[in-house]
Structure 1
Amino acid sequence: MHQKIKVLFRHRSMEMGGVERVLIDLLENLPRDIFDITFFLTLNQGELRTDIPKDINVITFQKGKEDMSSNKLLRTLQLIKRNLTLLFYRKNPKLLYKNIIKEDFDIEIAPTYAEFENILSSPLQSRKIAWFHTDVSYDPNQERVLNRINNLKKFDWVIFGSRQTRDVIKELFQIEYPKSSVIYNSIKIDEVRKKAKEFPVTYNLHPVFSSMGRLHSRKNYHTLMNIHKKLLDEGYPHSVAVIGGGSEMENLKKQAKELNVEKTFLLLDTQTNPYPYIKNSDYFVLPSESESYPLTIGEVMGLNIPIISTNVGGIPEMIDHKVDGYLVNPDENSIYEGMKLFLTDSSIPQQLKDNTEKAVEKFDNQKIYNAVTDVFVNQYQLK
């Protein structure tokens, strides 16, 4: 029997998010006859930590918030201790590998930019691979952008989540990555369809625009709420249901109260199974100012829900405008016009709905797993 390739993935925590879902999918589907996989989880934290496949060797480093004391003082002390420990080992990566990881690996993976420096500071003679999903054109912090894209050059191979993610770096900074490939994230449509039937969801006011994403300012939900209010005021009854938690929750709640739309702009927070909420809506809207290749688009297509999405990142690589989705610019007026169109001309969303049956054929997961396997095997052979 041939020797398996030893692969280490490193990631911070497992809160519900696109990268975390991609990671779990990869861990489930990379071939076990070729790879011996270890997953190093810095914080044993997040809703998806229990979804890590049971046959993967998992190293958890620090306790998650879920497992800390409910006593406020004790919890604060635990968090201080945790942060000091993390800081110590970040400055002493050799000790982290010696005392905690304790193994050698052929390949080490940084699934997000947050892990770039951790992987690059590894003392192992491994091949180092980075995944990059971020549209750098949106980030106003040029120093941070340059740090990330220069760190990418130090990896043995880079996997970009969409063509646009790679192309925009060349366009803006004239930096190219000859040691790279574009591999889309897999989208598990059959699983999504099954989960969408797990429980009923009833909305008080139809039509409903559902949306899903982390509540971050660049996701543009504050703008979506303004559009919602404007459409209501103009006599177009509808509701919006946003699935997701995050740092903008309190701001959005405050805004909903000020606009008096608390009953029609529903902030549903993070849901372990968001799909019944989407399946029972009439339309889906993605108002983001920046994205890479969001799984949600393919999942919503799989549920036959007509989509309005901003034309950003890798989304035009997923949606054919006016064929299986409707693309708009990431500004208030364009999103408003798109939503108004859906509310006033039912033939347009119906046509998109009809076309989603064929659209899902675009997402061939086995090709994705094969492409990742090829990258890993090729890098191992160069070791």
Structure 2
Amino acid sequence: MKQNILFVMPSLSAGGGEKSLVNLLTQIDYELYDVELFLFKREGLFLNMLPEEVQVLDFPKEYKIFSKGLFTSFITFMKERQFSLAFYRIMFTVKSRLIKDNKNAEQQTWKYLNMYFNTTHKEYDVAIGFLEKTSIYYVVDRIKSTKKIGWIHTNYSNSGMNKDIDHPYYEKLDRIVTVSQECAKSISEIFPDFKDKVDVIFNIVSPKIIDKLSKENMDMVMDDKFVNIVTMGRLSYEKGIDMAVNACDLLVKNGFNIKWYVLGEGDEKENLEELIKKKKLGNNFFLLGLKENPYPYIKNADIYVQPSRYEGKSIAIDEAKILKKPIVVTNYNSAKDQIANRVTGIIEELNATSVAEGIQLLIENEEIRKRLINNLHAEQLGTEGEIEKLYDLIRR
């Protein structure tokens, strides 16, 4: 008899956790498991990449009304005499706007958002909150399930999350899954009473799929008269795109012909556009937005750069390794989980000068470039087998 698994995720927008979920779902054996997916927003670049066997659940009526925006939802709840839901809608908006840190805002507004859901009638064998915060809270508070698992894709030490809010939720989870040894260490140190239920399952990446997709056409041609650099990630503080702009500025001033392309969207876009304009890099640094298939851009680049301030375990770096690109990364906590310095990539310090120096080294030193590429060819990069770890957790 098939087991029933529910995954919960905010959306399938272009992020590492979202891509990780879609990759995982493509590896599941659907002869053994029935899989349902609940999304708080049924949107995102990866939505059309879901396996056809995955059933995406509909929203409850109250949450549909909530999602229409403050004015419309408030008026609707008042007309339906659901006064408490109208009040919670106002409180959700007020709290969201008053708390400047988005991570804390998501944590602290859950108590209001929670009111728009009922506990599910169906009981699952396993329910998985596949991203920290709301997805985990929903699984704990609203899902009937024999086993509950929370999946954390970031290094908790650097996440800015409030551990006092998370602690009672993590206490009710049967297992806590994270994506690297460094992330597991962080969770075990911050929540020592839960260290025995922490597991590591690496993000699933498939070299076969990535190689195939990388051969598709892209909507531009990279100029081989320039050094073409690609970075993939949200336009947010933690991804360090501002450092990339400043590193590009240093390289251009030192006489290098650089075209640097960033694939992603985010809250920092306007600030980054201003910085690009201020540095007069309009012909050198380009924010291309989200790309449903980023792999041709990485494949055709000369260098891949990940200038993050912190990461859990970067899927983008694994993908750049699969495409055999010379890589420069910053020395965030989990960088060494993926890159061996001067062996499979270059690890530089967390500042624009160091990032520029790492790129310059790769531009000027052909021997190092070739060595990195040859070492990547020799490395076993596929992680499809990680799905067996999930099966093991389900069976325990």
TM bucket (normalised to shorter chain) is 0.7 to 0.9
- Per-residue CA deviations over 1:198-224 (Å, capped at 9, x if unaligned) read 115422352111110011111111111
Provide the rounded CA distance (Å) in 1 between the counterparts of 2:41 and 2:378. Answer: 41
Partner of 2:139, secondary structure, is: helix
Q: What is aligned with 2:180?
A: 162
Partner of 1:290, secondary structure, is: coil
Q: What is aligned with 1:53?
A: 51
Which residue among 20, 23, 27 is the counterpart of 1:29?
27
Q: Is the 8 A contact 1:206 1:282 kept in 2?
A: no
Q: What is aligned with 1:90?
A: 114
Q: What is aligned with 2:252?
A: 232
Q: Is the 8 A contact 2:307 2:330 kept in 1?
A: yes
Q: What is aligned with 1:346?
A: 366
Letter matched to residue 6 of structure 1: N
TM superposition score normalised by structure 1: 0.86
Provide the rounded CA distance (Å) in 2 between the counterparts of 1:227 and 1:62. Answer: 48
* Displacement of 1:130: 0.6
Q: Is the 8 A contact 2:122 2:144 kept in 1?
A: no
Evaluate the alpha carbon distance shift between residue 106 and residue 290 of structure 1 in structure 2; reply closer, same or farther with a 3 A threshold: same
**Matched ranges for 1:1-383 at <5 A:** 3-61=1-59, 90-91=114-115, 93=117, 95-97=118-120, 102-114=121-133, 115-122=135-142, 124-139=144-159, 141=160, 144-148=162-166, 151-171=169-189, 174=192, 176-200=194-218, 201-204=220-223, 205-359=225-379, 361-366=380-385, 368-378=386-396
Partner of 1:36, secondary structure, is: strand
Provide the rounded CA distance (Å) in 1 between the counterparts of 2:259 and 2:364. Answer: 15
Evaluate the alpha carbon distance shift between residue 172 and residue 179 of structure 1 in structure 2; reply closer, same or farther with a 3 A threshold: closer
Evaluate the alpha carbon distance shift between residue 124 and residue 342 of structure 1 in structure 2; reply closer, same or farther with a 3 A threshold: same
Partner of 1:267, secondary structure, is: strand
Provide the rounded CA distance (Å) in 1 between the counterparts of 2:207 and 2:356. Answer: 29
Provide the rounded CA distance (Å) in 1 between the counterparts of 2:222 and 2:126. Answer: 48
Letter matched to residue 350 of structure 2: P
Provide the rounded CA distance (Å) in 2 between the counterparts of 1:125 and 1:224. Answer: 44
Partner of 2:57, secondary structure, is: strand
Gaps of 5+ in 1: 69-73, 379-383
Letter matched to residue 313 of structure 2: Y
Evaluate the alpha carbon distance shift between residue 22 and residue 36 of structure 1 in structure 2; reply closer, same or farther with a 3 A threshold: same
Evaluate the alpha carbon distance shift between residue 275 and residue 337 of structure 1 in structure 2; reply closer, same or farther with a 3 A threshold: same
Provide the rounded CA distance (Å) in 2 between the counterparts of 1:376 and 1:48. Answer: 25
CA RMSD of aligned residues (A): 2.7
- Per-residue CA deviations over 1:270-307 (Å, capped at 9, x if unaligned) read 01111111111100000001111111112111111110
* Displacement of 1:264: 0.5
* Displacement of 1:47: 2.0
Partner of 1:210, secondary structure, is: strand
Q: Which moved more, 1:293-302 or 1:259-268?
A: 293-302
Evaluate the alpha carbon distance shift between residue 44 and residue 169 of structure 1 in structure 2; reply closer, same or farther with a 3 A threshold: closer
Gaps of 5+ in 2: 78-84, 93-111
Partner of 1:130, secondary structure, is: strand
Q: What is aligned with 1:71?
A: none
Q: Which moved more, 1:156-165 or 1:24-33?
A: 24-33
Evaluate the alpha carbon distance shift between residue 311 and residue 60 of structure 1 in structure 2; reply closer, same or farther with a 3 A threshold: farther
Q: Is the 8 A contact 1:212 1:242 kept in 2?
A: yes
* Displacement of 1:175: 5.3
Provide the rounded CA distance (Å) in 2 between the counterparts of 1:345 and 1:188. Answer: 30
State the number of aligned residues.
359
Partner of 2:275, secondary structure, is: helix
Q: Is the 8 A contact 1:44 1:61 kept in 2?
A: no
Evaluate the alpha carbon distance shift between residue 247 and residue 62 of structure 1 in structure 2; reply closer, same or farther with a 3 A threshold: farther
